[in-house]
Amino acid sequence: MADDEEVVEEAEEVLGAAESETAVSPVEIEKTLDPPKYEVRPGLGEKFQAQNVRDIIESTMKEQLLERQYRADQAPRWAKTISNAVRQRVQDLNMKRYKILVQTTILEMKGAGVKCGQRCIWDPETDDYADDIFRNDSIFCYTIVYGVYMY
């Protein structure tokens, strides 16, 4: 019987503590939340700025390649430098929620033709691209920038 009395006393103490916590706790005030904002499309003036990007591509390629002759050992480094510079300058345009992808290809001019193709599945109302070509006596450079809107 002594064991039963101890169990009952412990249960009363636990219930008493729970009641005192709820009685002392502050009253919760209901806060009204703003309705969620789902941006499915870029706002007016926030779309991909293809002409500005094209100007950036052209100026960056000229800065990097204007007085150079093709060198197979240096071409990968030049391509990486151009891609990084273009990406950084395009990101400075502050096009909100756009993922920027840059691809640069440098080839030696030897009289052979080049055919390239691209296929993308995207939203034509929000996503876009800009590209440009640089040529001199020994270098052919093609850079393309994709702007994909992140929903």
- The whole-number pLDDT of residue 10 equals 53
Cα–Cα dist 26/21, whole Å: 10
- pLDDT higher for 64 or 13? 64
Cα–Cα dist 83/101, whole Å: 9
Binning the chain into helix, strand and coil, the percentages to the nearest 5 are 35, 20, 45
Q: Which domain holds residue 87?
A: 50-149
CA 72 to chain CA centroid, Å, is 31
**Does residue 3 sit within a domain?**
no
**Does residue 64 sit within a domain?**
yes
Average pLDDT over residues 85-104: 96
Q: Which long-range contacts (CB under 8 A, 24 or more apart) does 103-106 make?
A: 103/143, 103/144, 103/146, 104/79, 104/80, 104/141, 104/142, 104/143, 105/79, 105/141, 105/142, 105/143, 106/65, 106/70, 106/75, 106/78, 106/79, 106/139, 106/140, 106/141
- Residue pLDDT, tens place only, 47-56: 999 999 999 9
Given a cut of 90, is residue 60 above it in pLDDT? yes
CA 57 to chain CA centroid, Å, is 19
**Does residue 16 sit within a domain?**
no
Q: Which of 105, 91, 112 is nearest to 134 (CA)?
A: 105
The number of folded domains in the chain is 1
Average pLDDT over residues 11-23: 52
Question: Over the chain, what is the mean pLDDT?
Answer: 85
**Amino acid, single-letter form, for residue 89:** R
For residue 103, give the CATH number of its domain: 3.30.1140.40
Given a cut of 70, is residue 83 above it in pLDDT? yes
**Amino acid, single-letter form, for residue 129:** Y
CB 145 within 8 A of CB 90: yes
- Residue pLDDT, tens place only, 23-36: 555 666 677 888 77
- Residue pLDDT, tens place only, 106-147: 999 998 888 888 898 999 999 999 999 999 999 999 999 999
**Does residue 66 sit within a domain?**
yes
Q: Write the DSSP symbol of residue 26.
A: P
**Does residue 13 sit within a domain?**
no
